[in-house]
Amino acid sequence: MDHISPPKSPHELLERTHSIAGLTLAELAHRQQQTVPTNLLHAKGWVGQLIEQSLGASAGSRAEPDFVELGIELKTIPLNASGQPKETTYVCTVPLNEVATSWENSWIRQKLNRVLWLPIEADPDLSVSERRIGSAILAELTPQQDHLLKQDWLEHMELITTGRINEISAHHGAYLQVRPKAANNKALRNTTDEEGQSVQTLPRGFYLRTNFTIEILKQQYAL
DNA sequence: AGCTGATCATAT
DNA sequence: ATATGATCAGCT
């Protein structure tokens, strides 16, 4: 894989996004000396990682923003044939064994505060190779978005910190969901139940519903 | 057709 | 082992 130094400023980062906008994944993969998988079944994170490399993201799989020095997180948005988000967006792991923190100090808010969103064609009728990269959107959380996400987060954390995480389903949360995030449903982690006993539960992640990412796209384009 | 629960690969 | 990058695929 090619190593590119991290961008030194948001401006430089945006210039790099301009240089890849409109390329097909095959074209970008060739630049990065990568081979394109025939499908994403066994390469679910391939597109995101290709983009990370191309833009000089440095955090690897560490729990840090992708562009550490700039405090910017990178998220691809897979688009269906209508140009709408096809999937929810994974944000970060749900903390199962941490002392309660505020929304303002939470890891999820730090990540979402400044995000470089990069729409990518993902219509299943297009081969992975021919899918095109869109125009990036560098967005800060608006006060309204911050408030809405905080409400969801508070509801989730109330159940999580009182040992009732198993009562949470993906139906909860208007914009922010809690869903399984694991190798499979046998991969369990320790946590504490309502009576304070140590029990095992499925690891979970925070995900943004598509109704949130639709709004991000609307800020940029008139959908 | 959309959504929820399950799953796959890789880095550290 | 647990974080990251996500999409898959069966159910409603």
pLDDT tier, A222 (very low <50, low <70, confident <90, very high otherwise): low
pLDDT per residue over A141-150, tens digit each?
999 999 999 9
Amino acid A105: pLDDT:
95
**Residue A147 burial (C-beta neighbours within 10 Å; 0-12, 13-18, 19+):** exposed
Is the CB atom of residue A22 positioned under 7 angstroms from any atom of strand C? no
Helix, strand, coil content of chain A in percent (nearest 5): 30, 20, 45
Domains of chain A in start order, with CATH, are: 10-81+103-141+211-222 (3.40.600.10)
Mean pLDDT estimate for chain A: 95
Give the whole-number percent of chain A exceeding pLDDT 70.
97
The distance (Å) linking the CA of A179 with the C1' of B11 is 22
- By C-alpha to C1' distance, B6 is nearest to A184
CB atoms inside a 10 Å sphere around CB A117: 22
The distance (Å) linking the CA of A86 with the C1' of B2 is 10
Tell whether pTM > 0.85.
yes
